[in-house]
Amino acid sequence: MSQDIFGIQAALKSLGIKDLHQGASTGMEWIKTSGDVISSYSPVDGLLIGKVNAAKQDTYDAVVNIANQAFSQWRQIPAPKRGEIVRQVGDRLRGKKEALGKLVSYEMGKSLQEGLGEVQEMIDICDFAVGLSRQLHGFTMHSERPQHRMYEQYHPIGIVGIISAFNFPVAVWSWNAMIALICGDVCIWKPSEKTPMSAIACQQILSEVLKENNIPEGVSNLLIGDFRIGELMSHDPRLSLISATGSTRMGKKVGAAVGARLGRALLELGGNNAIIISETADLKMTIIGAVFGAIGTAGQRCTSTRRLIIHERIYEDVKSRLKEAYNQLKIGSPLDPANHVGPLIDQNAVELYLKAIVQVKKEGGKAVVEGGVLNGKGFQSACYVKPAIYEAENSFEIVQAETFAPILYLMKYTTIEEAIFIQNNVPQGLSSAIMTSNLRESELFLSHMGSDCGIANVNIGTSGAEIGGAFGGEKETGGGRESGSDAWKYYMRRQTNTINYGTDLPLAQGIQFGF
């Protein structure tokens, strides 16, 4: 494990992280597993954090059976009482925020501020879910038949399977789990095998609360393993909903498997996010938003800014400002608050980054800020790379794809209609933004003729969504919505009820039937 330079050892001890863990938990105990050993190495310094015995199919089946039994009990607890459990989870996270934030930063490679921010997201969604537990509402409609009352209500859906990605190793799980729990569902979580220790820490925190409240075993479950666990979940009709966050390639497989059994899928997949920079934009604010969007989490957010679509009159000015800003970036350990950029998650991510640079040049792109791998003093692993900027065309094959790395593409536009067309002309549709002081431009961008993304911002970057809004996107982003607004409806089944309190039996549409 790491030397305790930034208090990592103390954080691991506080969170109960051991050298070897079992890869399955039902919330009450860890189940002995016999799968392959998964080793978690930090991209910060390349050192081992811990190992996990992965779950296999026999363990999977046991966990699903326990979860199914727990659902029959958990759904009977009134929603506000379920909210009370989630409130206690939020309070426990407040006490563990520093330790868990450090672990997230150390295991994933994002800055400490972003790690702490991710835990704060978890706390915020707990608060949101607690309030929501008293607002799970339906609707009442007027019936066309006399002495009839018609209304809609929502019921728990069952077992919710959560498949999360490495880039947000804890927050995305909480978006799903806290909402599902107050809805009366039980959860099975398959985290990324690249960040298992963060998941184990969360499961232990939640398990403590469940035990203290005598909650049935199986309400919150964890299964650590590779893609095979995800495949089992996707094909299993006992799991009513699969919420999967990750690449479009992965999401298509999950969607096909769940769709084949007529199950329900909530997919939050890749992004190819752009900021349109108008000639009326406040450039000081614009550069901050664009740089954070492009280099935050080392470009490993689904909402990371990939493209800047810049008005031709200010193109050279923006390009010059970006070069100046990039020259001031400090790259190194994300646990050091002086640094802006940490490492990529692993060597595979580095290889994809390098291939993208080769490809953009091959297609005719020109370097504004050249990329490359960083090594030597101050770089304790081989996962550190330079944030790069290239002039490119939107039609380039590499620009049309999502590269999970800090690579930013610049392109020009003449009219706002052209800029919106360029922004929309990619397969993905997650996040988008326009920087402008022109009211007509901003309103056009937000209209039905504007951005086709699930998120559209004005004078804000593409990255850094609040939990109060529903999060997700269109097209190859999958169409799912997580977190706030009315996303809770994904986790419940909708039922229409009609009550006849009269003595006659009139039929709808005036149909006459008698004998």
Active site residues: 268, 302
Sign of CA dihedral 55, 58, 61, 65: negative
The identity of residue 381, as a single letter, is S
Report which of 350, 358, 341, 360 is spatially closest to residue 298, judged by C-alpha positions. Answer: 341
Beta-bridge partners for 493: 155
The identity of residue 434, as a single letter, is I
Beta-bridge partners for 408: 389
* DSSP conformational letter for 510: G
SS3 label, residue 221 = strand
Residue matched to tokens 């020109």: 366
Q: Which pairs with CB-CB distance under 8 Å and at least 24 residues apart come from 441-449?
A: 441/278, 441/280, 441/416, 444/416, 444/420, 445/276, 445/416, 445/420, 449/420
| Residues 441 and 334 sit within 8 Å (Cβ to Cβ) | no
Residue matched to tokens 């990039």: 326
Instruction: Enter the tokens of residue 322.
Output: 């970006």
DSSP H helices, 296-438, are 315-327, 347-362, 397-400, 416-424
